Amino acid sequence: MNAPQDTVYRLEAITKTYIMGDVEVHALRSLDFDLKRGELLVLLGPSGSGKSTLLNILGGLDTPSTGRMFYENQDLSAPDRGRLTEFRRSHVGFVFQFYNLIPSLTALENVKLVTDIAANAMDPAAALELVGLSDRMDHFPAQMSGGEQQRVAIARAIAKQPAVLLCDEPTGALDVSTGQVVLEALLEVNRTLGTATVIITHNAAIGAVANRVVRIADGRIARVEENARPLLPSEVAW
């Protein structure tokens, strides 16, 4: 089955069940989802709603228990681990709540780490320039603020020019004004590179900057809202 041309991901009746001892935890219950090319999408939901599980499946860190997932017409429902690694290596960029920079590498080297192994990579310095960090390239993570570290993480995620950027609570560890700067960076990337971006958060206010907001509750999609006129991050407060 072919996905429409403007769709990056198409998920059909995805379920994810974890066995925790004697208990079965249903993280996702028959979920349908798609992501359009160049779209900025916010996944909203309280903790335990299944949003992280969805993000992990989208990023090839986890596989669905049942259902099918297509990425650019490729069926990634149950591929082997090696193929998932190759998928992450070429197509997906990740941004985490706690940045996950390598402490022993400078900002530039953290970005280079990814461009070293990517086929169609940007110049690492250009990636840092895009997130406004040209003057911090030779700093180690411990020498930078949380916001700066997160922007390095964004530069690292987009430097390989991925089709999708997946962000797990990217502003979760930051104060409001720093969070706004980080959101600016994500939007800038989305605008200039046209990278389809998924941001998961439990912070409803952030939904205002997205093209589309998908609310998840109890492993299902509860509501989808289209944003005709997304706000600028500076207009959002939480």
Partner 1 sequence: MSLLNAIDIKVVRDLIRTRGQITAIVLVIACGVGVYTGMNSTMRSLESARASYYAEHRFGHVFVSLKRAPESVGRRLASVSGIQTVQTRVVANGTLDVPGLLEAASGLLVSLPDHGRPLVNDLRLRTGRLPRAGAWEEAVASEAFMATHGFSLGQHLRTVIDGTRVDLKIVGTALSPEFTYAAAPGQLFPDDRRFGVFWLGRKALASALDMDGAFNSASFRIGRDAHVDDVIARVDSVLARYGGLGAIARKDQHSAFLLENELRQLQGFAFLIPALFLGVAAFLLNMVLGRLVAGQRGDIAALKAFGYRDSEVGLHYAKLMGVIVGLGWVLGLVLGVWMGAETTQLYGSYYRFPDLVYHLGLRAPAEAAVITAVAAGVGAWSAVRRTVALPPAEAMRPAAPPVYKPSAVQRTGLARLLPTWAHIVFRELERRPLRSVLSVAGVAMATALTIVMAFTADSVRYMLNVQFGLGQREDAQLHLAEPRSTGVLAELEKLPGVLHAEPFRSVPVELVHGRRSENVTISGVPADAHLVGLIDEGLRDVPVAEEGLVLSRKLAEILGVRPGDQLWVKVLEGRRHETEVPVTRVIESFVGTPAYMRLEALCRLLNEPSTLNGARLLVDEARLTELHRAVKQTPGVNAFTSRDTVLRTVSEMLDDNLGAMVGVSMTLALVMAFGVLYNTARITLADRARELATLRVLGFRRSEVAAILVGELALVVVVAIPLGLLAGYGLAAALVRSPGFDTDQFRLPLVVASATYATAVLAVLSAGIVSGWSACRRLDSFNIIEVLKTRD
138-175 in b/e burial notation, b at 16+ Cβ within 10 A?
A: ebebeebebbbbbbbbbbbbbbbbbbbbbbbbbbbbbe
Work out how close the CB of 140 gets to partner 1 at its nearest, in angstroms, rounded to a whole number.
5
Q: Is 4 in the site for partner 1 (CB under 8 A)?
A: no
Q: Is 102 in the site for partner 1 (CB under 8 A)?
A: yes
Q: With contacts defined by CB under 8 A, name the span among 22-30, 110-118, 195-203, 207-215 that binds partner 1.
A: 110-118
Q: Is 92 in the site for partner 1 (CB under 8 A)?
A: yes
Q: Using DSSP bridges, classify how beta strands 66-71 and 7-20 pair: parallel, antiparallel or unpaired.
A: antiparallel
The residue among 149 and 180 lying less far from partner 1, judged by its C-beta, is: 149
Tokens of 144: 């930078």
Which residues lie closer than 8 Å to 200 by C-beta, 6 or more apart?
42, 43, 44, 45, 51, 52, 54, 55, 167, 168, 169
Task: For residues 172 and 206, give the distance between their C-alpha atoms in angstroms, rounded to a whole number.
Answer: 11
Work out how close the CB of 159 gets to partner 1 at its nearest, in angstroms, rounded to a whole number.
10
Residues 48-67 touching partner 1, rule: CB under 8 A, are 56, 59, 61-62
Q: Is 126 in the site for partner 1 (CB under 8 A)?
A: no
- Helices in the chain by DSSP H: which ranges? 51-58, 81-91, 107-115, 124-130, 146-158, 176-193
The residue among 101 and 122 lying less far from partner 1, judged by its C-beta, is: 101
Sole binder of partner 1 in the list 114, 131, 164, 167 (CB under 8 A): 114
Interface residues with partner 1 (CB under 8 A)? Answer: 56, 59, 61-62, 81-82, 85-90, 92, 94, 96, 98, 100-105, 109, 112-114, 116-118, 140-142, 156, 160
